[in-house]
Amino acid sequence: MLPAATHDPSRRRLRAGIVGGGRGAFIGSVHRLAAELDGQALVVAGAMSSDPANARASAAAWFLERSYDSYEEMARSEAADANGIDFVIVATPNHLHFPVARAFLTEDIHVVCDKPLAASLADGEELAHLVSGGTALFALTHNYTGYPLVREARELVRAGRLGEIRKVTVEYAQDWLMEPLEARGNKQAAWRTDPHRAGPGGSVGDIGTHAANLLEFVTGRRIESVCADLTAFVAGRRLDDDASMLIRLEGGAKGTLVCSQIACGEENQLSLRVYGSKAGLEWRQQEPNTLILKPAGKPWELLRTGHAYLGAAARAASRTPPGHPEGYLEAFANLYRSFIADVRRVAQGQAPARDYPGIEEGLRGLRFVTQAVASSRAGSVWMRI
Amino acid sequence: MLPAATHDPSRRRLRAGIVGGGRGAFIGSVHRLAAELDGQALVVAGAMSSDPANARASAAAWFLERSYDSYEEMARSEAADANGIDFVIVATPNHLHFPVARAFLTEDIHVVCDKPLAASLADGEELAHLVSGGTALFALTHNYTGYPLVREARELVRAGRLGEIRKVTVEYAQDWLMEPLEARGNKQAAWRTDPHRAGPGGSVGDIGTHAANLLEFVTGRRIESVCADLTAFVAGRRLDDDASMLIRLEGGAKGTLVCSQIACGEENQLSLRVYGSKAGLEWRQQEPNTLILKPAGKPWELLRTGHAYLGAAARAASRTPPGHPEGYLEAFANLYRSFIADVRRVAQGQAPARDYPGIEEGLRGLRFVTQAVASSRAGSVWMRI
Amino acid sequence: MLPAATHDPSRRRLRAGIVGGGRGAFIGSVHRLAAELDGQALVVAGAMSSDPANARASAAAWFLERSYDSYEEMARSEAADANGIDFVIVATPNHLHFPVARAFLTEDIHVVCDKPLAASLADGEELAHLVSGGTALFALTHNYTGYPLVREARELVRAGRLGEIRKVTVEYAQDWLMEPLEARGNKQAAWRTDPHRAGPGGSVGDIGTHAANLLEFVTGRRIESVCADLTAFVAGRRLDDDASMLIRLEGGAKGTLVCSQIACGEENQLSLRVYGSKAGLEWRQQEPNTLILKPAGKPWELLRTGHAYLGAAARAASRTPPGHPEGYLEAFANLYRSFIADVRRVAQGQAPARDYPGIEEGLRGLRFVTQAVASSRAGSVWMRI
Amino acid sequence: MLPAATHDPSRRRLRAGIVGGGRGAFIGSVHRLAAELDGQALVVAGAMSSDPANARASAAAWFLERSYDSYEEMARSEAADANGIDFVIVATPNHLHFPVARAFLTEDIHVVCDKPLAASLADGEELAHLVSGGTALFALTHNYTGYPLVREARELVRAGRLGEIRKVTVEYAQDWLMEPLEARGNKQAAWRTDPHRAGPGGSVGDIGTHAANLLEFVTGRRIESVCADLTAFVAGRRLDDDASMLIRLEGGAKGTLVCSQIACGEENQLSLRVYGSKAGLEWRQQEPNTLILKPAGKPWELLRTGHAYLGAAARAASRTPPGHPEGYLEAFANLYRSFIADVRRVAQGQAPARDYPGIEEGLRGLRFVTQAVASSRAGSVWMRI
């Protein structure tokens, strides 16, 4: 027999809590599943809804050990409990990211926060201040960076395989908001199209930030300036549901960034192409296990998840042999895997590796949204980020 | 606060045990992950290796509560423990499926067993006898039937959308055994190419059974007879690493079944096409979230995982919105989801639904292997299954 | 026996002449092949190069009956010959389109001219004046509109299948100018990167005009304004080799237009997506026999060349049964097919159908180039077309 | 001015005749177009139908100079004419290939004949005797070997890039005969399902021979034996409309050959995969400009038509730059290109290159059909070819 559960985090699954994610919220389940996927953590406590009955029912459905009616109570109580949670997951609408994260950071509890970082740049900056001044870890779930071949793409760029980066194209196209769902009782649509809860960007904040983050992650270059044309195609909508942008990157690359939630027939068509002086590359989220490398004057190569010919980062991010497709949940779980490893490191007095998106990426995302909105309002003028 | 963990299985995650799956074995991790994916079960006990040190180290790496040196001890001990496991996972080489499963079935512990059912038809039939005479549930992980669109394909056939089934093509092609790995210390290759541990079929048993099962699952027709040509292309190999077969299905459909472990460049290319008098359909495991429907005289339709236009079975088998790719692990977990629901039903005195592959599919697989081998030995003559 | 060749153009293949297209020029062969493909015309005369020796050798290689040293002589001589050419093909560098076309139009000889219409808007407008004031027919080879499924796409939009058009994405990406070929003796590159011969646009004129034309052809909406960012990525190049543009269409649709000749690894990746309020569509030139229709809430449909379910325009533009791929040359020939039918109509005193690109499309292309260049020079400001 | 048309075949387009191919016959137009595509030949004479009125109308529609009511008259008359045809195209139903070809071969006129060679092996052998005893050239239009990347595939095999060939899969699937069209007045279906006009094989003769020829062309190995299961799925049909076969090649490779004309939703899905000890390759006729190379342990490579990295044979078979898709007609024309070059060679007293399918391939095809039918009738036993 093994010893019973222990306080030593290196000898047990970590204990996680969750705020938000009550029944009906898609992303809550994703966080639980991703956090637990590798058998390194269990969600044991939650304040899953602002509605107490829903909070309790949601917690019971997940077999949580502890359910709270408010996140403030949860933060205090868990911090005081020797067997309290090791980290908290923030899966609320955007405007609550800040106060919830603050409550737990204040108690020195590590935080995994959904994106975007906050509903305003001011809130985000205050959060950044808190994080930099404290000891708790902070991760932001720009989950698309968790795909093995996204990491391979970054390695290829870093290794110089593409040469000088010249041209980029990144896009995130959906259609789920092509009808005025917010006027038909859809809660997910309601808060995402409400400036008070979502922030100044609609599609730009919800998915444009993913596109921008993916581009910067892979190229290792920051978006320097944007020239944007934002639109609300659905009548009466208060935030953009579509955006077309010209972008310029540090170092001279140029291109376009498109995000749309009214692109009829598209599911989650996040795609990236990068063209350099030696090779191009292409990746599509809906077929995530293939990365196309396009070397000058040679046949395209199809790099596939799981192969020994991939770099270390991609190999480490994969759980199955080649040809057994991995998807969205596994990519999401890769962020948790890195974060959990950091929580263990910190518990053992080691320095964290911080190889997952964090506060800095969150701030960049908020500035991206702010400047894209400003550019569009000014008639599509170049704005620096 | 919620009440603490309870004996009532409807109020807690189920407790699972595992036999086999020690470090270095790919499929063990898959079983753990799939069993736990929906937060409905935790693996808490194991006899993970016949080597005691490896067994303990593997159990510790997974934070198991109880590690055993033998599966016999595990079966007895868990059965005697009021907080013992609710079900056991058998993830050993083929020849051990029978004795391990028997040990737990004898203790009335539910069993999830990897495929093929056993290393011989005789063992399989004895196992079937045990299961039919007992009360414990038995699931066989023909995991490819867990994909949402495989289930959609079956519904389309059942609903008559394809009309009379005429022609079928099913194939499972890999290349991982294209070199004599069994002579180079690869344990996975060693037992799979050893008739004593794998049974009479090489590629036919390891992956041909998956292809046959997938075909029968989708069409709802049994393979009636086979005319097979088996080959060991790698010098010195004792079992087939490649097979080509003509097949005939109940009801008059005909076609081919191909399996290969020497198809250079293929990963896990399991693919199925079914042609009827009204429509055809095509599905490929490596792009599992697309099902192609080919209605006569009309454009092909691309059915995609997660959409509201799919049938109930496919919708129930999906965890993310359309466009967030799901893969192998989620499909595998769908078998566990159904099995776990059955364990809960039985615990509450309800009748099990048995909507996952079981003993019957296992026996059909063993007969398929036996007759394919016999056909090939006789010079490719038709053999009835 | 049939009667010998006759003057009656309805009883014989038409006689065509060509200016330009001498040996080494890719597009000349394409014009000959496309003009002759349906057995309705033969190229019999030419002034194929400004270099007389090359002109004669080129003509001999094509078995032409008459070779000229200058296009002026050719125009005069053919016009005076009762068995002279029925139409001329202009396949020279851009700056010669105007004088050559003028020479033949002045002689009332029908003209098929490569695109863009001219090297300057002023030349183009004078050409338009000539055409509108004369009787000769004029076709401009925006050849991508000749693909059957491009025509189907236009019919789908016209029939309202997409609903209100909201979002568009069009791109033409190549890589053949990613190195300074113009400095290495490549003639094709030399004139295309020379403002005096190519006009004010580099990639914008050479391929951006194709993208713009394709978009307007399919949507039936004009590009109203552009906000462009043009770049010469190759050091020393005098014209743009890459452009990113925001665009707005009549009626409120928005989107992006990208053209690039430095997109490493791309061949001729001309692609178009149009998203409406009811459906989206997607077409890619490199797989031209598939048109993807994306109806809201339903599976994507793959429309394929040659099927009876297509509209009349697409069916008429196809020469083989479904599944026998048709390509670039056949699409190019479809413009000639329509033009030749018009030549026959006019010869018989009927009104021409003019169902091919002509002067108007040529002028729009020149204005597009002019305004894209102006927008970029002004720092990416919106310019009306 | 150039000299007028001359008797010297090196100074003029060759003159071709055609037998069959009258209005309504798909393949006649393909032959004309393919023969003329490169500007090296013109079809000037024909006996296009056994119905004289149709023959004349068809000839007039093509602007032929000479129309005949019978092929016998045509052969005699053209042979006697100093300006008679240089070669004849035989585009009749199968049972007429032999007498028509014989008529022209007897007159020493070169022949291009559609496949299969004849409606019986005996006829084919007599034809072979005639060809070997005469001086006229003979080409058989196994047109799929004309695709540039099929030629590349052959070069890759020849160069040893695949190593030892182990496993092959070839298939030709259509659906155009899934209904009893022969009973509904469809002439194309009527003769193809009539043993007297088509020969002993239905789908096996019509498309199975293409599949077999493609496989042997690419691998350079002959099919040594077949074990076949032929079926007429459509009630009342006298010839097979579907076949599944096990095959064995010289040198030890094995695999399957499938042909079907009832595969609902398939157009002309001719596909080939070859797996060797070093690499695999895959080609699909419906996307003919991509050849997938699958080297062991490395990423797949997508070889594309038109690139400089291809071998000489593939490069010579292409007419456009990469990314401008070429298709069925261009591939068909490549056979004519080689044949016409041989006609010119012979006219100049040179030895022909014979780099196109001929009598030998025709005989092999007839033997393949004969033995596949025999194998199936005997209950799927191995038959040597």
Tell me the chain B residues in contact with residue C297 when contact means C-beta distances shorter than 8 Å.
307-309
Residues C147-189: pLDDT tens digits? 999 999 999 999 999 999 999 999 999 999 999 999 999 989 9
The residue type at B298: K
The pLDDT value recorded for residue A6 is: 56
Does A303 sit within 8 Å of D302, measured CB to CB? no
Whether B179 is in a domain gets the answer yes
Cross-chain residue pair A246–C244, CB shorter than 8 Å:
yes
Could you tell me if B143 and B268 are in contact, meaning their C-beta atoms sit under 8 angstroms apart?
Answer: no
**Chain A closest-CA separation from residue D298 CA (Å):** 7
- Could you tell me if B43 and B36 are in contact, meaning their C-beta atoms sit under 8 angstroms apart? yes
The answer to whether B119 and B199 are in contact (CB under 8 A) is yes
Residue-wise pLDDT tens digits, A130-186: 999 999 999 999 999 999 999 999 999 999 999 999 999 999 999 999 999 999 999
Task: Kindly report, residue by residue over C202-219, the tens digit of the pLDDT.
Answer: 999 999 999 999 999 999
Domain CATH number, residue B130: 3.40.50.720
Q: Which pLDDT belongs to residue C216? A: 98
Examine the domain organization and report whether D218 and D282 are in the same domain: yes
Query: Using the beta-carbon criterion (under 8 Å), do D321 and C36 form an inter-chain contact?
Result: no
pLDDT at residue A5 above 60? no
pLDDT confidence of residue B1 = 35
- What pLDDT sits at residue C27? 87
Q: Which of C169, C277, C380 sits opposite A227 (nearest CB)?
A: C380
CB contact under 8 Å between B309 and C297, yes or no, is: yes
Question: Same domain, yes or no, for B207 and B93?
Answer: no
For residues A320 and A304, give the distance between their C-alpha atoms in angstroms, rounded to a whole number: 12
Q: Is residue C314 part of a domain?
A: yes
Band (pLDDT 50/70/90 cuts) for residue C7 is low
**Does residue D276 fall inside a structural domain?**
yes
Using CB atoms, pick whichever of A11, A64, A325 lies closest to residue B325: A325
Which residue intervals of D222-358 are DSSP H helices? 312-316, 328-347
Q: What is the least distance, in Å, from the CA of D309 to any CA of chain A?
A: 7
Instruction: Indicate yes or no: CB of D302 within 8 angstroms of CB of A302.
Output: yes
* In chain C, % of residues over pLDDT 90: 95
> Is D294 within 8 Å of B233 when comparing Cβ atoms?
no
For B169-182, what is each residue's pLDDT tens digit?
A: 999 999 999 999 99
From the list B293, B298, B308, the residue facing C309 with the nearest CB is B298
Q: Chain C contact for D266, CB < 8 A?
A: yes
Do the Cβ atoms of D96 and D89 come closer than 8 Å?
no
Q: A273-328 pLDDT, tens per residue?
A: 999 999 999 999 999 999 999 999 999 999 999 999 999 999 999 999 999 999 99
Q: Are residues B236 and B373 in the same domain?
A: yes
Output the pLDDT for position C141.
97
Flag if A178 and C379 touch (Cβ within 8 Å): no
- Write out pLDDT tens, residues D138-197: 999 999 999 999 999 999 999 999 999 999 999 999 999 999 999 999 999 999 999 999
Residues A207, A293, single domain; the answer is yes
Nearest-CB residue to A65 (from B2, B30, B327): B2
Q: Is C144 on the interface with D (CB under 8 A)?
A: no
Query: Is residue D4 over pLDDT 90?
Result: no
C292, C371: one domain: yes
pLDDT digits (tens, 9 = 90+) for C228-262: 999 999 999 999 999 999 999 999 999 999 999 99
Q: From residue B253, give the alpha-carbon distance in Å to each of B135, B184, B299.
A: 37, 43, 24
CATH code at C371? Answer: 3.30.360.10
Domain end point (choices C85, C102, C136)? C136
Across B280-289, D6-15, D305-314, least confident range:
D6-15
pLDDT at res. C130: 97
- Domain contains A345: no
Give mean pLDDT, residues B211-237: 98
pLDDT at position C6 is 56
Instruction: Tell me which residue range forms the domain holding C41.
Output: 9-136
Is residue D24's pLDDT more than 90?
no
The model's confidence at residue A4, banded by pLDDT at 50, 70 and 90, is very low
Average model confidence (pLDDT) across chain B: 96
Backbone angles phi, psi at B309, to 5 degrees: -80, -5
Candidates D171, D265, D280; nearest CB to B266: D280
- Residue in chain C nearest A278 by alpha carbon: C264
Q: What is the pLDDT of residue D363?
A: 97
| Chain D neighbors (3+ CB pairs < 8 Å) | A, B, C
- Of the three residues B136, B159, B179, the one that is the final residue of a domain is B136
Per-window interface: C 277-316 vs A, CB < 8 A: 277-280, 294-296, 300
pLDDT given at position B6: 57
Q: What pLDDT score does B27 carry?
A: 87
Distance from CA of A268 to the nearest CA of B (A): 5
C25 touches chain D (CB under 8 A): no
Q: What is the pLDDT of residue B7?
A: 66
- Report chain C residues whose CB lies below 8 A from the CB of B309: 297-299
Between strands B138-140 and D14-20, the pairing is: unpaired
Q: What is the DSSP string of A159-187?
A: TTTT-SEEEEEEEEE--TTSS-GGGGT-H
Q: Is the pLDDT of residue A14 over 90?
A: yes
d(CA A223, CA A383): 11
User: What pLDDT sits at residue A7?
Assistant: 66
Residue D2 pLDDT grade (very low, low, confident, very high; cuts 50, 70, 90): very low
Q: Are residues D123 and D238 in the same domain?
A: no
- Residue D205 C-alpha, separation from nearest chain B C-alpha, in angstroms: 19
Residue D18 lies in a domain: yes
Name all chains with 3 or more CB-CB pairs below 8 Å to chain C.
Answer: A, B, D
How many C-beta neighbours within 10 Å does residue B86 have? 21
Q: Token digits for C43?
A: 């190229």
Q: Are residues D104 and D200 in the same domain?
A: no
- The number of folded domains in chain B is 2
Q: Is residue B225 part of a domain?
A: yes
Name the residue in chain B with its Cα closest to that of A57: B2
Residues A180 and A280 placed together within one structural domain of the fold? yes
Q: Residue B3 pLDDT more than 80?
A: no
Q: Angle at the Cα of C137 (from C133 to C143), degrees rounded to 5?
A: 130
Q: What is the pLDDT of residue A23?
A: 80
Which A residues, 171 through 230, put their C-beta within 8 Å of a C-beta on chain B? 174, 176
Q: Do C300 and B302 touch (CB under 8 A)?
A: yes
Instruction: Find the mean pLDDT for residues A30-41.
Output: 97
Report yes or no: C283 and C194 within 8 Å, Cβ to Cβ. no
Tens of pLDDT, residue by residue over D154-166, are: 999 999 999 999 9
Residue of B156, B291, B298, B315 to mutate when probing chain C, most C C-beta within 10 A: B298
CA C355 to CA C139: how far, in whole Å? Answer: 9
Same domain, B107 and B185: no
pLDDT score, position D3? 41
| Closest-approach residue (CA) in chain D for C13 | D63
ipTM of the complex: 0.95
Domain boundary among A71, A106, A136: A136
pLDDT, mean of residues B183-187: 93
Output the furthest CA–CA distance in chain C (Å, rounded). 70
Q: How confident is the model at residue A26 (pLDDT cuts 50, 70, 90)?
A: confident
In this predicted structure, which of A313-327, C51-65, C76-90, D19-33 has the lowest mean pLDDT? D19-33
Tell me the H-state helices in chain C.
26-36, 52-61, 71-80, 94-106, 121-133, 148-158, 187-192, 195-198, 203, 209-219, 312-316, 328-347, 359-377
Q: Are B293 and C302 within 8 A, CB to CB?
A: no
Alpha-carbon B16 to chain mean position:
18
B95 falls within a domain: yes
Continuous segment of H or E residues that includes residue A96: helix A94-106
Average per-residue pLDDT for chain D: 96
Judge whether C30 is closer than 8 Å to chain D, CB to CB.
yes
Summarize pLDDT for A194-248 with one digit per residue, the tens.
999 999 999 999 999 999 999 999 999 999 999 999 999 999 999 999 999 999 9
Q: Is residue A329 part of a domain?
A: no
CA of B63 vs chain A CAs: smallest distance (Å): 6
Tens of pLDDT, residue by residue over A84-142, are: 999 999 999 999 999 999 999 999 999 999 999 999 999 999 999 999 999 999 999 99
Is residue B324 classed as helix, strand or coil in its secondary structure? coil
Order of all β-strands in the sheet with B87-91: B66-67, B41-47, B14-20, B87-91, B110-113, B138-140
Say if residue B24's pLDDT is above 80: no
Q: Which two tokens stand for residue B156?
A: 């389309």
Tokens of C320: 């083989």
Say yes or no for a CB contact (<8 Å) between D254 and B242: yes
Give the per-residue pLDDT at C5: 47
Query: Residues D140, D115: contact at Cβ < 8 Å?
Result: yes
Q: Say whether both D173 and D120 belong to one domain.
A: no
CA distances from B99 to B123, B138, B369 (A): 9, 14, 20
Contact yes or no for A321/A29 (Cβ under 8 A): no
**Range 36-95 of D in CB contact (< 8 A) with B:** none
* Candidates B42, B266, B328; nearest CB to A320: B328
Same domain, residue pair A88 and A168: no
pLDDT tens digits for C306-351? 999 999 999 999 999 999 999 999 999 999 999 999 999 999 999 9
CA distance A70 to A190: 22
Q: Which residues of A touch B47 (CB under 8 A)?
A: none
Pair (D60, D97) in one structural domain: yes
Tens of pLDDT along C115-146? 999 999 999 999 999 999 999 999 999 999 99
| pLDDT higher than 90, residue D7 | no
